[in-house]
Structure 1
Amino acid sequence: MSALADAVIGGADGDELARTEVPREFVAGHIRVEDVDMFAGMADKDVRKSLRVGPVPMPELAPDEVLVAVMASSINYNTVWSAIFEPLPTFDFLRRYGREGGFASQHDRPFHVLGSDAAGVVVRTGAGVRQWKAGDHVVVSCTHVDDQEPATHWDGMLGGEQRIWGFETNFGGLAHFTIVRASQVLPKPPHLTWEEAAVNLLCAGTSYRMLVSEHGARIKQGDVVLIWGAAGGLGAYAVQLVKNGGGIPVGVVSSEEKAEAVRRLGCDVVVNREEIGIGGPEPDPGQSIEAGKRLGRIIRREVGEDPHVAFDYIGRATFATSVFIVRRGGTVVTCGSSTGYQHHYDNRYLWMNVKRIIGSHSANYQEAAECNRLFRQGRLKPVISAVYPLAELGEATRLVQTNGHTGKVGVLCLAPEPGLGVTDPELRAAIGSQELNPMREMEG
């Protein structure tokens, strides 16, 4: 452990942090370029074999960047993709970014530090950073943009150089230190612990853009919203956003245990996917329509009408059903395809019923800030279900890889134990620890 890490853990103020030397290397969860072909021909690409935790060199800080001592992070599915080197090795992203030259070139290394969530303490700021200083408690948005691209100023997700930090850039959050652009940093919700604050922004921000933002479905009071994978990281935040906005969340889950978890979040209708017969990753189009009819009957029985919106990040296995089931003029909003990218659906149900499909990706800085504001107000709650130390990164990622989790899986980086980092105990007490951790209660 470095002197700077010790100072952060010891609660040093900003002046002391600014005086303490930045280490030349730090501990990080990473993959290595020499391992890219290690899973060739294997059916089970076990991420525990490719993920490493050990020292990597400290990068130089660019003028628009912030060095954050990471107290906690989380596992997202992009960590799984990185660790199995699919759909393509992330070293391809790093090489492409490195070709820009300047500070970008240091991202092209034979290692890739992963992680697209973090909560921690600012310990250094670049010469061009104005709004952050050493000692600030922050969370990090994963959207890494080029502010010199015109499109970025319309919507950060439209810039051609938009990247996901820790996936398409190096030096991500699953480490003792991370570098991020100042335009990724937001104030940490003070009533949350480090691990509670660390698991939110990637998934919650993505769900916010999909459902609430003007770039997404723009849900309103009374909207019936079908949420596939409602117990997952994205889905569990979607349930809260729909409920908070006066809508009616209808969640689809894979087990009764997960059904109970989403009921705790306020899901009005919960459907076990076995009830509707959703097939494997390559469903027959006719089967998808029949599954949609079964699901539609359940939803109409429970709420009296068809969904306005389908929230779909599952992809191939569910997309045809999503297009079929939303009402005339309804919307399917999609941000991913965990069961496959090639979607086959009957287009008649789209065009003849004037439905819409909206593609959505991550969240721009304003959307992330609005989402983070809801956490700071206590209106959104973390959906953390398990916490691992950084030394057990492989086990934490394997849990997500095998879908053995609910909600989000947290990772302690510099935080020596769970439960630290709360600076507003009054708000925490007013909300209640049990209310803040509905999925931890299930695991406990």
Structure 2
Amino acid sequence: MRSIPDALLGGATPQEIAALDLPRAYRAAYLRAEDVDMFDGVQDRDVRKSIHVGEVPMPELAPDEALVAVMASAVNYNTIWSAMFQPLPTFKFLERFARQGGWTERHDLPYQVVGSDAAGIVVRVGSGVRRWKPGDHVVVHPAYVDDQEPGTHADGMLGSEQRAWGYETNFGAMADYTVVRASMLVPKPKVLTWEEAAANTLCASTAYRMLVGEHGARIKQGDVVLVWGATGGLGGYAVQMAKNGGAVPVGIVGTEEKAEAARRLGCDIVITRAEIGLDGDPSDDPRQVLEIGRRLGRLVRERAGRDPDIVFEHVGRATFGISVFVVRRGGAIVTCGSSTGYQHVYDNRYLWMQLKRIIGSHGANLQESWECNRLFETGSIVPTVSALYPLTAVADACRVVQENRHIGKVGVLCMAPEPGLGCTDPELRARVGEERLNPLRGLTPGHLEG
């Protein structure tokens, strides 16, 4: 009898996979409800102290769900928020979710398996699943939506019960197995390895909705797109989306090392924070915001020829006032995330008198995720993995992201025994090229390198 990883990676048939005896417990990265107050009065909420790796019980599968053997995952900032128990403990999300009754009650547990990025192999499907079967290679779209809500049928992100899987739900991605709704499955790009495919599902589709999709800023050829944090998890994909769509990405980064990384991603115009005098959070000083905005505006006009048409905003409080000032008359600021704070301060005169727009954007719907995924299938957009850690060291990987010591995405190997596995179209991979597919590999310290 082959082990489950051997069977999955060795080309077992759907029937053979469906017949495998699954474990009653599995390895996962999780938080404990008993720890939610552990950082009270502590300045450094070190996530290495709150993230645990160990065995958790295998949950029962609902009719509309699939069980996926996770080959690889990746770190998103929502896991950092979860592990810091800020802005509030995510166990409150699980408790509220469970009040719906039925299958949702499984999510309210004294532990939460975290993570919102995954690539893997379907091993079981519920009785109501039609389009997927054991053995399918998939990535997981992290929008957990309620298909019985009217708003969901207009746009999956508009339903009031929409949740971020692995953040506002249990049974997330940083584990050997995960439970997802069938409506979250997307075919894995054949050209990519497991770790490359796992890094894209949340950030790339979020950037796609913000910039390309009909609900976002809708970039067009020739637009000047200012991207804050141009080498971060979101920014690295935003730069590529802009470039691939015929726009002119202007990247803002913190260091010369990150400036070089932005250029590898196709960002021809890069501005460092030092050039505009941005150090920390100037939002409480309107004069400083204005001075920085003027410096940034001059540099963008000098290097790109005119003011930005669109600002890609995910930094939040520290930069939002500058973004509102610097975008052109009639331009758009598209925003999500707010990693430096949710309470944004800006001078409304620059918004209202110059007819600018603020577009709120959150995640992506399933259609947008599939459209974004097609770009990876052809190599038009590439992964931004810069480092790789084993699941046993996932807390260290999260700490790197917490301290902003990373570039792009930090990957996590789960059930995959080593890097470099999972590509099922080696001819296309050879045409696209290893260097093209891994422009940032090795730029963040990691435990594993492929």
TM-score range, shorter chain: over 0.9
- The equivalent residue for 1:151 is 151
> Per-residue displacement from partner, 1:319-360 (whole Å, max 9, x unpaired)?
001000011100000011111111111101001100000000
> Per-residue displacement from partner, 1:113-172 (whole Å, max 9, x unpaired)?
000010000000011111100000000010000001011000000001000000000000
Answer whether contact 1:434 1:441 (CA < 8 A) is retained.
no
Answer whether contact 1:279 1:317 (CA < 8 A) is retained.
no
CA-CA distance at 1:5 after TM superposition: 4.0
Equivalents in 2 of 1:368, 1:11: separation in Å?
27
- The equivalent residue for 2:32 is 32
TM alignment of 1:421-440, pairs within 5 A: 421-440=422-441
Equivalents in 1 of 2:188, 2:241: separation in Å?
20
Equivalents in 2 of 1:10, 1:25: separation in Å?
23
Equivalents in 2 of 1:316, 1:82: separation in Å?
20
Secondary structure of residue in 2 paired with 1:73: strand
Equivalents in 1 of 2:437, 2:60: separation in Å?
38
- The equivalent residue for 1:203 is 203
Q: Which amino acid aligns with 1:59?
A: P
TM alignment of 1:242-281, pairs within 5 A: 242-281=242-281
Question: So what's the TM-score if we normalise by structure 1?
Answer: 0.98
- The equivalent residue for 1:121 is 121
- The equivalent residue for 2:336 is 335
Uncovered stretches (5+) of structure 2, i.e. residues with no partner: none
CA-CA distance at 1:15 after TM superposition: 1.3
CA-CA distance at 1:278 after TM superposition: 1.9
Uncovered stretches (5+) of structure 1, i.e. residues with no partner: none
TM alignment of 1:66-77, pairs within 5 A: 66-77=66-77
> Per-residue displacement from partner, 1:88-119 (whole Å, max 9, x unpaired)?
00100000111111111000000000000100
TM alignment of 1:207-246, pairs within 5 A: 207-246=207-246
TM alignment of 1:299-338, pairs within 5 A: 299-338=300-339
| Identical positions, percent | 65
- The equivalent residue for 2:101 is 101
* Between 221-230 and 280-289, the greater mean CA deviation after superposition: 280-289
Answer whether contact 2:330 2:355 (CA < 8 A) is retained.
yes
**C-alpha root-mean-square deviation of aligned residues, in Å?**
1.1
1:396 paired to 2:397: yes
CA-CA distance at 1:279 after TM superposition: 4.0
CA-CA distance at 1:10 after TM superposition: 3.8
Equivalents in 1 of 2:340, 2:70: separation in Å?
32
Answer whether contact 1:114 1:171 (CA < 8 A) is retained.
yes
Answer whether contact 2:5 2:416 (CA < 8 A) is retained.
no
* Between 427-436 and 12-21, the greater mean CA deviation after superposition: 12-21
Q: Which amino acid aligns with 1:314?
A: V
CA-CA distance at 1:65 after TM superposition: 0.5
Answer whether contact 1:278 1:317 (CA < 8 A) is retained.
no
> Per-residue displacement from partner, 1:206-234 (whole Å, max 9, x unpaired)?
00000001100000000000000001010
CA-CA distance at 1:6 after TM superposition: 4.4
Secondary structure of residue in 2 paired with 1:318: helix
CA-CA distance at 1:76 after TM superposition: 0.2
Secondary structure of residue in 2 paired with 1:358: strand
CA-CA distance at 1:7 after TM superposition: 2.6
Answer whether contact 2:68 2:124 (CA < 8 A) is retained.
yes
CA-CA distance at 1:282 after TM superposition: 4.8
Equivalents in 2 of 1:150, 1:56: separation in Å?
35
Answer whether contact 2:68 2:177 (CA < 8 A) is retained.
yes
Equivalents in 2 of 1:441, 1:409: separation in Å?
10
CA-CA distance at 1:376 after TM superposition: 0.9
TM alignment of 1:369-408, pairs within 5 A: 369-408=370-409
May I ask how many residue pairs the two structures share in their alignment?
Answer: 443
Secondary structure of residue in 1 paired with 2:423: coil
Answer whether contact 2:229 2:315 (CA < 8 A) is retained.
yes
- The equivalent residue for 2:364 is 363
Q: Which amino acid aligns with 1:184?
A: M
Secondary structure of residue in 2 paired with 1:231: coil
Equivalents in 2 of 1:133, 1:7: separation in Å?
15
CA-CA distance at 1:31 after TM superposition: 0.5
1:163 paired to 2:163: yes
Equivalents in 1 of 2:10, 2:89: separation in Å?
38
Equivalents in 2 of 1:259, 1:112: separation in Å?
37
Secondary structure of residue in 1 paired with 2:398: helix
Answer whether contact 1:72 1:410 (CA < 8 A) is retained.
yes
Measured at CA, do residues 409 and 144 of structure 1 come closer, stay the same or move farther in structure 2, by a change above 3 Å? same
CA-CA distance at 1:304 after TM superposition: 1.2
CA-CA distance at 1:405 after TM superposition: 0.4
Equivalents in 2 of 1:282, 1:295: separation in Å?
14
- The equivalent residue for 1:49 is 49
Answer whether contact 1:4 1:23 (CA < 8 A) is retained.
no
Equivalents in 2 of 1:40, 1:121: separation in Å?
40
Equivalents in 2 of 1:212, 1:81: separation in Å?
27
Equivalents in 1 of 2:375, 2:442: separation in Å?
22
Question: So what's the TM-score if we normalise by structure 2?
Answer: 0.97
TM alignment of 1:12-31, pairs within 5 A: 12-31=12-31
CA-CA distance at 1:23 after TM superposition: 1.5
CA-CA distance at 1:268 after TM superposition: 1.7
Q: Which amino acid aligns with 2:175?
A: A
Equivalents in 1 of 2:232, 2:304: separation in Å?
23
Secondary structure of residue in 2 paired with 1:171: coil
Equivalents in 2 of 1:304, 1:190: separation in Å?
40
